[in-house]
Structure 1
Amino acid sequence: MTGQVATPPNKLDAAVLKIAGVVVLGAIMSILDITVVSVALPTFQVEFDATYAEVAWTMTGYTLALATVIPLSGWAADRFGTKRLYMLALLLFTLGSALCATATSIEQLVGYRVLQGLGGGMLMPLGMTIMTRAAGPERIGRLMAVLGIPMLLGPICGPILGGWLIEAKSWEWIFLINVPIGAIALVYAWFALPKDKPQPSESFDFLGMLMLSPGLALFLYGVSSWPEAGTFTATKVWLPMVSGALLVIAFVLYSFKPKHPLLDLRLFRNRNLTVSTLSLFVFIIAFMGAGLLFPSYFLQVRGESTLQAGLLMAPQGIGAMLTMPIAGMLADKIPVGRTVPFAMALIAAGFFTFTQVGTDTSYVLLCGSLFVMGLGMGGTMMPIMTSALRTLNHHDVARGSTLVNILQQIGGSIGSATMSVILTSQLNKSTPIPGTNPPITEAQAAIASHHVTVPLPPSVIQQGLEFVAQSFATTFWVGFVLVLATFIPIAFLPRKRQAASPDAAGEGTVETPVMIH
């Protein structure tokens, strides 16, 4: 039963928290899965007798599936209802996880990862839509803080969980662990999510889909192939990137013509959404790209195990946990333009330390810097996402969250590829060691020395480690500059509370109540 609610309660009530629990479960599965699999790539090489380029497709295939399905989420949520679609996404992800554990070849594993990605790609945008509609605009900041916990802790807990499961059990368990969680989430969703109210009147934009989904997939394929190829001029890099970009540009030009486009770019007429998504896009490129290199530094320069590297990243998650609930409450009361710059300053301060890393940089200093960065992370990402969606009306929330998720996916892929290319190019400048067969460089020997005995003088190994550390420091400098660049769009975030308008679910207005049962 529903009723008009003029002003939602200040705090998150039990009914809304029950819905948030379903979304968090789905987010935990999809986000943890990405980082857990990333630490298992060396294991896949051994188990399936495959090259690194081949096993990397377990990540790339998942990403391409995300890019293909995310644009469909907004239309499908309106057409079929968020509850049905969310449960379908959970089912696909859980089924894909179970099948991954049965893979006997790298080709099978990549195929099952694609199935996982089809489900995982819908979980986040649908989850954001469900939570935004459930909480209403006055409480969206607090609810986004709840969703932000798995988004920020995934990259921290994933390596720890993956390292432990592989060491204690076997690689199959990094996928099997999703099965009981997925089953629980399906039952939970059936009882907790509000009844669907699908709107079948809108026609599906097939022409838009034929341009946008393949365009995003081709573009991200080219970006993902860049680190392996080492140069943009490689055909497998520039051809799909250019082809994909042309398809996306064609979609942008076309999308303003149909009444119901696959991706509603008209939403960018909302200045608040435009500035917030641009800020988030630049931030994702800067932080997520370089953030993936933090554990690599501990592994390749300091010789830590996968589990130890994951544990060393934990201070970042602790910092985020401390500030995220506070940032969520502040986002509901104070314009994000007044709080996010301070949080970004913390990130910049912590990040600077990594531009100075060497072979024996103090772990106390590094972990302290990660903690400071975590404090900033907790006060940055979710408030910006809150600002992006707050002034949209009830109907536009699904399409707005789809826009945000697509830009996140593209930004993360571009950032990761850019940082990987820079680090690889730096490492390739290492001096070859005379008389080695096959020929290896000092950097390669230094990295290998952590895992096998290398018959070389300690001075050569030390020289190689210092070179690798300097390569990481140079790459982190690029990331630091990108972090500073994020302050430009952040400067345009709203610094005043906006008055509610009659047609927007802005601050102080709830356009459509939510039915809880």
Structure 2
Amino acid sequence: MAVSLERRANTVPPPDNVPAEAWRMAWVIVLGAFMTMLDTTVLAVGAETLTRELGAGIASVQWVFTAYLVALAVALPLCGWLSRRFGAGRVWLVSLAAFTVASVLCALAGNVGWLIGLRVLQGLAAGLLLPAGQTVLGQAVGPARLGRVMGTLGIVMSVGPTFGPVLGGVLLRGLSWEWLFLINIPVGAIALVLGLRLVPRGEKGAATRPDWLGFVLVSAGIPALLYGLTTWGEGGEEFGAGVLVPLVAGVVLLAVFVRRSWGRENPVMDLTLFSSRVYTAAVALSFFAAPALFGALFLLPLYFQVLGGSGVVETGLLLMGLGFGSAIALPISGKLTDRYGAGLVAAWGSVATLATTVPFAIGGFPPDGAVVQILLLARGIAVAFLLMPATTAGYAAVTKDQLPDAAAQINIVSRVGGAAGTALFAVVLANLLPAGGDAAFRATFWWLTAAAAIAALLGTRLWWVTRRA
């Protein structure tokens, strides 16, 4: 059963210094997260090249991306049990090695069928790598220092999406498609060598059997839900059978999973963590904050390309301000979180994110002008004060033993929230574009503003809950 630790999570003592060995370990964990983020964002610009070089149709190449997403969603629910059973550090090291080897094999794939199959292996490893790494960090440093360390990890999440497309475009201009995967090898090798020395293995738990039926339910339900949302966004149309069937199946499977797992002994994921008001408020904020990041990362490149006529590399350069703003703000956000509490920082970050989204909806300035770059820099700073504190609040509200489940659950919620927001924005934009690009983007940015407004309300609620705990 979950133990509510709201009082501990929100009575913030003066933060002590993070030991040097903890920082060294944190940067190794960051390398692993950077590799998965780099892989996803670099490959995002390679669909046309893969279609041409592998002699495959665009529908087949799309499964190179979809198979990875589905496999990642399958692995996420099992990460908590694996970390409890074998130790989070061991899970991280094995998944890091598997992702690196899978990257080599993807580069050697002779046809699109093999590439799709190997991307499944990559996705399974990626689904374990990030939550296991977050668990290692949380268990090593404790809640009083978690904000600063999570801020370091968050730099990867902000820089990767803006740096990756630029690197992908450069690689495809000068080298072959295989380098989209080979670029992972040196990062993975360095992280593995350092990880074997610096990452604690964690404690092995009792040899309890997982609830395999529960695992089947959640590992089928989450991919079905994500697949339905992704298909909806890609099609840009109303609900058809190809969208409705996986969405309904996903919702039903997850509902049965929740009913079966709540209060069950040895569940795949401990859902009684939601008995903590702080944890529940943090998870709710993470769900609606995800579209603020992932939805914007979908809309902004199209904004530059469709309205501004920018190419792939030029678009990546125009987006650098967003990543730069987050990168410089995240260490500050982490320090403030440890000193004043995650609730207060997340509340201000959510309001700032809303304030930096509204101007895009109002419009009236050129996409490639200085105003947009100032807004992107400010928005990057605002998002840094929203996403990381929301996650940190959830992790700080549980015990050390519950952290593997919390990491898996918050990652799942963020993925689903990001996919739902991106799909909604894609459909709105696709339906309005024929009537005019400028009006279509302004209307879609109003939908993004609505998501940011909900996040602002939930950020304020998280602050209120932490103050009353």
Using the size of structure 2 for normalisation, the TM-score is 0.93
CA distance in 1, matches of 2:377, 2:345: 19
Task: Give SS of 2:461's match.
Answer: coil
Task: Decide which of 30, 44, 48 is 1:42's aligned counterpart.
Answer: 48
Greater CA drift, 242-251 or 43-52: 43-52
Greater CA drift, 7-16 or 212-221: 7-16
1:485 matched to 2:454? The reply is yes
CA distance in 2, matches of 1:378, 1:141: 12
Alpha-carbon shift at residue 217 of structure 1 (Å): 1.3
CA distance in 2, matches of 1:240, 1:44: 27
What letter is aligned with 1:492? R
Task: Give SS of 2:339's match.
Answer: coil
Greater CA drift, 490-499 or 310-319: 490-499
Alpha-carbon shift at residue 361 of structure 1 (Å): 4.1
1:135 alignment counterpart: 141
Percent of aligned pairs sharing the same letter:
35
Task: Decide which of 197, 204, 213 is 2:203's aligned counterpart.
Answer: 197
Task: Give SS of 1:231's match.
Answer: coil
What letter is aligned with 1:489? L
1:335 touches 1:496 (CA, 8 Å); kept in 2?
A: no
Where in structure 2 are the equivalents of 1:433-512 lying within 5 Å?
467-495=436-464
1:236 matched to 2:242? The reply is yes
What letter is aligned with 2:179? W
2:214 alignment counterpart: 208
Structure 1's 362 and 356: CA in aligned 2 closer, same or farther, altered over 3 A? farther
Alpha-carbon shift at residue 99 of structure 1 (Å): 1.6
Task: Decide which of 408, 413, 418 is 1:402's aligned counterpart.
Answer: 408
Greater CA drift, 290-299 or 138-147: 290-299
2:358 alignment counterpart: 352
Greater CA drift, 163-172 or 323-332: 163-172
1:287 touches 1:479 (CA, 8 Å); kept in 2?
A: no
1:509 alignment counterpart: none
Where in structure 2 are the equivalents of 1:238-257 lying within 5 Å?
238-257=244-263
Structure 1's 168 and 489: CA in aligned 2 closer, same or farther, altered over 3 A? same
Greater CA drift, 223-232 or 164-173: 223-232
1:181 alignment counterpart: 187
CA distance in 2, matches of 1:419, 1:37: 22
Structure 1's 233 and 42: CA in aligned 2 closer, same or farther, altered over 3 A? same
1:114 alignment counterpart: 120
CA distance in 2, matches of 1:498, 1:365: 37
Task: Give SS of 1:184's match.
Answer: helix
1:281 touches 1:411 (CA, 8 Å); kept in 2?
A: yes
Structure 1's 236 and 191: CA in aligned 2 closer, same or farther, altered over 3 A? same
Task: Give unmatched runs, 5+ long, in structure 1.
Answer: 1-6, 431-466, 501-517
CA deviation map 1:225-260 (0-9, x unaligned): 113433343211111111111000000111125211
1:423 alignment counterpart: 429
Task: Give unmatched runs, 5+ long, in structure 2.
Answer: 1-12
Structure 1's 8 and 176: CA in aligned 2 closer, same or farther, altered over 3 A? farther
CA distance in 2, matches of 1:283, 1:322: 20
What letter is aligned with 1:477? W
2:42 touches 2:165 (CA, 8 Å); kept in 1?
A: yes
1:506 alignment counterpart: none
| Bigger Rg over Cα | 1
Instruction: Between the two structures, name the one with larger relative contact order (CA 8 Å, sep ≥ 6).
Output: 2
Alpha-carbon shift at residue 336 of structure 1 (Å): 2.7
1:80 touches 1:200 (CA, 8 Å); kept in 2?
A: no
Task: Decide which of 319, 333, 340 is 1:334's aligned counterpart.
Answer: 340
Alpha-carbon shift at residue 47 of structure 1 (Å): 2.2
CA distance in 1, matches of 2:330, 2:235: 39
CA deviation map 1:446-491 (0-9, x unaligned): xxxxxxxxxxxxxxxxxxxxx2233222211211111112112112
Alpha-carbon shift at residue 74 of structure 1 (Å): 0.4
1:381 matched to 2:426? The reply is no
Aligned length: 457
What letter is aligned with 2:388? M
2:14 touches 2:339 (CA, 8 Å); kept in 1?
A: no
CA distance in 2, matches of 1:361, 1:417: 23
2:376 alignment counterpart: 370
1:463 alignment counterpart: none
What letter is aligned with 1:193? V
Alpha-carbon shift at residue 362 of structure 1 (Å): 4.9
More helix per residue = 2
CA distance in 1, matches of 2:143, 2:26: 15
Alpha-carbon shift at residue 328 of structure 1 (Å): 0.4
Using the size of structure 1 for normalisation, the TM-score is 0.84
CA distance in 2, matches of 1:339, 1:92: 37
2:97 alignment counterpart: 91
Greater CA drift, 131-140 or 284-293: 284-293
Alpha-carbon shift at residue 150 of structure 1 (Å): 0.3
Alpha-carbon shift at residue 169 of structure 1 (Å): 1.8
CA distance in 1, matches of 2:205, 2:256: 28
1:359 touches 1:469 (CA, 8 Å); kept in 2?
A: no
2:275 alignment counterpart: 269
CA distance in 1, matches of 2:53, 2:432: 30
CA distance in 2, matches of 1:160, 1:346: 27
Alpha-carbon shift at residue 419 of structure 1 (Å): 1.4
Structure 1's 58 and 8: CA in aligned 2 closer, same or farther, altered over 3 A? farther
2:417 alignment counterpart: 411
1:76 matched to 2:45? The reply is no
Alpha-carbon shift at residue 497 of structure 1 (Å): 6.6
Task: Give SS of 2:340's match.
Answer: coil
Task: Give SS of 1:111's match.
Answer: helix
What letter is aligned with 1:250? V
2:304 touches 2:367 (CA, 8 Å); kept in 1?
A: no
